[in-house]
Amino acid sequence: MNPSIFKAYDIRGFYPQDLNENNIVIVVKAIYQFFTEKLSKADLTIVLGRDMRLSSPSLSEIAKKTLLDLGVTVVDIGLSSTPTVYFAVHHFKYDAGIQISASHNPKDWNGIKFFYRQRNKLTKVSKNTGMDEIKDLSLRNRFSFSKKPGKLISKDVLKDEVDYAYKLVNPKIKKFKVVVDTANAMGSLYIEEIFKRTNCELVKMNFNLDGTFPAHEANPIKFETLKPLQQKVIQEKADFGIATDGDGDRIFFIDEKGQIVPATLISALIAREILQKNKNEKILVDIRYTRNTVKVVKDLGGTPIINVVGHALITEHLNRVNGAFSGESSGHFFFRETGGAESAIRVIYYVMKAITKYKKPLSEIIHEFLSSYESSEFNFTLPKGTNNKTVLEKISLDYKNGEINWMDGLSVDYPNWRFNIRASNTESLIRLNLEADTEALMKQKLEEVTAKILSLGARSD
């Protein structure tokens, strides 16, 4: 078994050379043993879902058979987004969940996301919460389980998930025209369910589930994949557009002018809606871009808490501080009421509610939150063998008159601008995000910091 499949936040690799019908048996046994130890019980009820990749049906079947042989009650929800698996475990109070998916990765990949529930909180298994244990158990492959019959339950939970999100947001929704590109992936399922309950006009792009991804990568953080959607929004004179990723846990919006809405401004929109109900809530803010959301949270009496990057880490932090909400600039949005996990459905309802309530187009609503201009992310490859941390330390020396923070990479704050540089855990790669009070200052400082990175031997990726 290739040990590199055990990633920071999930298990992922090429099919069939890295993950296949043989070694998934070993991995599922390791996951089961880990769950039994964490939950102090052997008779587990585990939700099993899968995405539309060509290898997912066979991998899911083997995972199901393995779990049944271990005596597990398997709640098979079939084709589903990852947030639907989170919802099913949390809402119906099952023990744990396993999703067969490689998220936004290309078609030749597959993987496993898995998590467990303790009371009303979910714990996603990551490098901080047990992935090394799963890796060690899998590589040792010394299990002594006695075979016992499990129980299979087939369940459709999507309608319940949409009902729950609607109840929490309680939106009035006017008749919109919305263009949605789901990249032939799992977001199409919940988009269909949301819009069949409205009188909105839904213009579909790439809705047929197809694990070959014939249109484009299911990765909206690569903004080039959004260009056809942007053009379609303008062509259709739509109110807004939506793009979802491979397993449906990330979402991006296009305004009526065809412009990409930064995820941080969607976070600000949601934070406002939440804080208007209860101003004492804690809102977690992505360390890459803090200024827009922090201002909204402070203005409305909430408590902003800066958060590290990574969906599993955000879920853990949100639960630990009992926060109401967190948004990540990569398009993940997390809520207390889903155990700290993502709910793209709830995000869509918040956006539709805001446009209806304020009687303004999305671009105008979003502009109200814009107090800081963001650069978008820039990647730089470092020379082989370069120590990422050393590079960041050298850059920090040039900015020691700013407020320096090492919580997640190097962050430096000044009164009118700031930046964050994070190093990859697995590659000689660093990522720069920068924001400033004005667009001109943002561009000036971006050029300045970029020049410093390049002077240390890096090349623009």
Q: What is the CATH number of the domain that holds 435?
A: 3.30.310.50
CATH of the domain at 199: 3.40.120.10
What pLDDT is stored for residue 429 in this prediction? 86
- Do 208 and 341 sit in the same domain of this protein? yes
Strands 429-436 and 417-423: antiparallel
Catalytic residue among 56, 103, 138, 329: 103
Q: Identify residue 69 by its one-letter amino acid code.
A: D
- Do 122 and 135 sit in the same domain of this protein? yes
94-120 core/surface letters (b: 16 or more CB in 10 A; e: else): bbbbbbbbbbbbebbbbbbbbbbbeee
What pLDDT is stored for residue 136 in this prediction? 98
> Can you tell me whether residue 345 is helix, strand or coil?
helix
- Do 237 and 379 sit in the same domain of this protein? no
- Do 318 and 328 sit in the same domain of this protein? yes
- Do 358 and 424 sit in the same domain of this protein? no
Quote the CA–CA distance of 395 and 269 in Å, as a whole number.
Answer: 34
**CA dist 25 → 68, 199, 314, 461 (Å):** 12, 46, 29, 38
What pLDDT is stored for residue 427 in this prediction? 66
Q: Which of 349, 345, 352 shows the shortest CA–CA distance to 86?
A: 345
Contact criterion met (CB below 8 Å) for 104 and 51? no
- Do 169 and 140 sit in the same domain of this protein? no
pTM of the model: 0.96
* DSSP E strand boundaries for 310-461: 325-327, 333-335, 373-374, 378-381, 403-405, 410-413, 417-423, 429-436, 459-460
Contact criterion met (CB below 8 Å) for 240 and 253? yes
The question of whether 103 is a catalytic residue gets the answer yes
Q: Which of 89, 283, 45, 77 shows the shortest CA–CA distance to 186?
A: 77
What pLDDT is stored for residue 428 in this prediction? 74
> Can you tell me whether residue 216 is helix, strand or coil?
coil
- Do 315 and 333 sit in the same domain of this protein? yes
- Do 238 and 362 sit in the same domain of this protein? yes
What pLDDT is stored for residue 48 in this prediction? 99
- Do 172 and 302 sit in the same domain of this protein? yes
Domain count, the chain: 3
| Boundary of a domain, candidates 156, 171, 204 | 156
Q: Phi, psi at residue 147, to the nearest 5°?
A: -70, 130
| Boundary of a domain, candidates 371, 397, 425 | 371
- Do 229 and 354 sit in the same domain of this protein? yes
**CB within 8 A of 169, min separation 6: which ones?**
273, 346, 349, 350, 353
- Do 349 and 232 sit in the same domain of this protein? yes
Burial class (CB in 10 A: 0-12, 13-18, 19+), 380: buried
> Can you tell me whether residue 43 is helix, strand or coil?
coil
**CB within 8 A of 66, min separation 6: which ones?**
24, 25, 28, 29, 32
- Do 358 and 299 sit in the same domain of this protein? yes
What pLDDT is stored for residue 146 in this prediction? 83
Quote the CA–CA distance of 97 and 5 in Å, as a whole number.
Answer: 19
Report residues of the chain scoring pLDDT below 50.
none
Its domain, for residue 73, covers: 3-156
| Boundary of a domain, candidates 320, 346, 371 | 371
